[in-house]
Amino acid sequence: MSDFRTITYEVAAAVCTVTLNRPEVANAQNTLLIDELDAALDLADADDEVRVVVLAGNGKHWSAGHDLKALVGDTEPDEWRLMRETPEGKWFHEKTMYFDRCLRLRDFRKPTIAAVQGKCIAAGVMLACMCDLIVASDDASFQNPVLRMTGAAVEILVEPWEMPARKAKEFLLAAETFSAAEAERLGMVNRVVPREDLASSAQELAERIALVPPATAQVVKRSINKTLDLQGQRDAWDYHFQAHHWMHNTATALDALEARKAKGSMKEVFAEHRDETVFAEHRDETVFAEHRDETASAEPSDDA
């Protein structure tokens, strides 16, 4: 387990902490990170000492979303890259690596807690929301501004389940950024703590959950998830995944992708659509400063 390259894995007091560990790109999720996260869940599942899993992020930001540099950028060819040349390949890639992997976390039998700090963008929001509880630091913020870049949100539409529908529309259509406090008010976040207390608070909460016998905790988690399924969550997500892919293959999205290849980043393609609320706050931040050439940050997740 020590040979992970994009995450870290540690167990303490019945709590397994998996930490996204690509701080140089704001923990953008590339193929390796997604695979290693999945492997970490295998380990946590198999270890009877582990009763709760905390999903943390190393560095200033929790996750800037998917790292698309390897998929549509000029460097680091990714094994999935060629497959994405066709609509069916793109569908298979995102179904396998994004949709199914996220749902595996959502359905993971042991309770999970996301410990979120800094920026949590697009597929970062999707990943955090797969966890059963979310603890956020007071500097955390949430946003999913990919609609302006033609994306039909990301692969799993968590927003209508995390906040009232009207707020979900505001969050997505107006590309609003919600602070940790606002996210807590909406019920998307369980509690907000000072940045320096984030890890200890998540651990403390996890240890409280670990007091419940594992079989009990797991059956109640599954029952609550089943309630959401019966309310239509799974069907709605299936629908959205298809709709998301329909959008991927429209002229609107394909033209933007071509323009992006020519310009080097989606941020440049849509420069004229920038406004101070969405992009300006990124531009001066490490998220974009450190990674300004490419997707993960410059394009808040989701492929063009």
Report the interface residues with Zn ion, using CB under 5 A. 94
Looking at the Cβ atoms of 79 and 284, the one nearer to Zn ion is 79
Are 139 and 117 within 8 A, CB to CB? yes
* Closer residue to Zn ion (CB): 94 or 132: 94
**Between 65 and 111, CB nearer to Zn ion:** 65
From CA 111, how far away is CA 106, in angstroms rounded?
Answer: 9
Specify the 3-state DSSP secondary structure of 257. Answer: helix
- What are the structure tokens assigned to 209, written together? 């959950």
Strand partners, 66: 29
Which is closer to Zn ion, CB of 150 or CB of 233? Answer: 150
What minimum distance in Å lies between the beta carbon of 153 and Zn ion?
9
Least Å from the CB of residue 151 to Zn ion:
7
**Residue closer to Zn ion, measured from CB, 94 or 299:** 94
Q: What is the DSSP letter of 110?
A: S
Instruction: Give the separation between CA 206 and CA 190, rounded to whole angstroms.
Output: 13
Minimum CB separation from Zn ion for residue 152, in Å? 8
Q: Which one, 68 or 180, has the nearer CB to Zn ion?
A: 68
**CB of residue 260 to Zn ion, shortest distance in Å:** 14
b/e for 150-171, b at 16 or more Cβ within 10 A?
bbbbbbbbbbbbbbeeebbeeb
Q: What is the largest CA-CA distance in the chain?
A: 56
C-alpha 256: how far from its chain's center? 23
From the CB of 63, what's the least distance to Zn ion, in Å?
16
The nearest distance, CB 155 to Zn ion, in angstroms, is: 5
Asked if 132 and 288 touch (Cβ cutoff 8 Å), the reply is no
Of residues 119, 77, 113, 84, the one with CA closest to residue 98: 84
Q: Which residue is nearest to Zn ion (CB)?
A: 94
